[in-house]
Amino acid sequence: MRVIDRASRGVIARVCGSVVAGLLAGVLVAAGVMFGLPALGFSVWSVSGTSMEPTFRDGSVLVLRSSGSSVARGDVVVIDRPSSWHVVQASSGSSDKNDSADSKSKKSIGSRFGRSALLKRVLAAPGDILSFDGKAFLVNGIMVYSTADNDYECSALPAGWSHKLSADELFVMGDNARVSLDSRKVVCTVGPDSEVSPFLSVSGVRAHGDSVFNWRV
């Protein structure tokens, strides 16, 4: 008879514990989707891609507030992606798989080349003044992203550019900027005067806020 040493038993116990925890999380999420969360104003989403890493990893499940309350700077949002961004996506080499979120309470909301929802973070909200000094983006005079420090070329946007966001505009960005298709990539690729706007509509927000629940499945 083969004897399993203490170290091996520990590994087996940890693996079994992870499996059980994963199954339990799945049951809880399913129960929440079916019975409680929508009625409380929350929605459950599955992360598809890496543009929000390390905050949310590919395959994560998260719970956010459904749209309705005001969106604030710093919020994570699930938001409609304009079809015009496909041009930037193709020219920049970004992959659609890096930038989407699927509703867990419905079938997949996307299709190749632009699943209709993006998972991003709000860098600038209505009323904010967004500017670019040639080396960094600033919101109300405070630096929020340095193109120089991140070795990111923003040749289409002139130094000194600024814009005050209207009541229906959001400027969003992925936490993993290197692979993210977002407002910064759009304005840096096509410039501020293009028909392709880098700003997304507040009315297109499907869910937002800090993640109430974040589980890697």
Domain ranges, ordered by start, for the chain: 1-40, 41-216
Does pLDDT of 84 surpass 60? yes
How far apart (Å, rounded) are the C-alpha atoms in residues 93 and 136? 22
Half-sphere exposure of 27 (CA within 13 A, CB side): 6
Q: pTM higher than 0.85 for the full model?
A: no
Give the angle 187-189-191 at the CA atoms, nearest 5°: 50
Among residues 159, 153, 143, 149, the alpha carbon closest in space to that of 192 is found at 159
Once rounded to an integer, what is the mean pLDDT over residues 133-160?
94
Model pLDDT, residue 65: 77
Q: Which pair of tokens denotes residue 61?
A: 């499940």
Maximum CA pair distance of the chain?
Answer: 76
Does pLDDT of 5 surpass 50? yes
Does pLDDT of 91 surpass 90? no
Does pLDDT of 24 surpass 60? no
CB of 61 closer than 8 Å to CB of 44: yes
Q: How many CB atoms lie within 10 A of CB 176?
A: 17
Once rounded to an integer, what is the mean pLDDT over residues 81-104?
65
Model pLDDT, residue 112: 30
How much of the chain exceeds pLDDT 90, in percent? 42
Model pLDDT, residue 44: 83
How far apart (Å, rounded) are the C-alpha atoms in residues 189 and 181? 11
How high is the mean pLDDT of the chain? 77
Fold assignment, 41-216: Umud Fragment, subunit A (2.10.109)
- Measured in Å, how far apart are the chain's first and last C-alpha atoms? 36
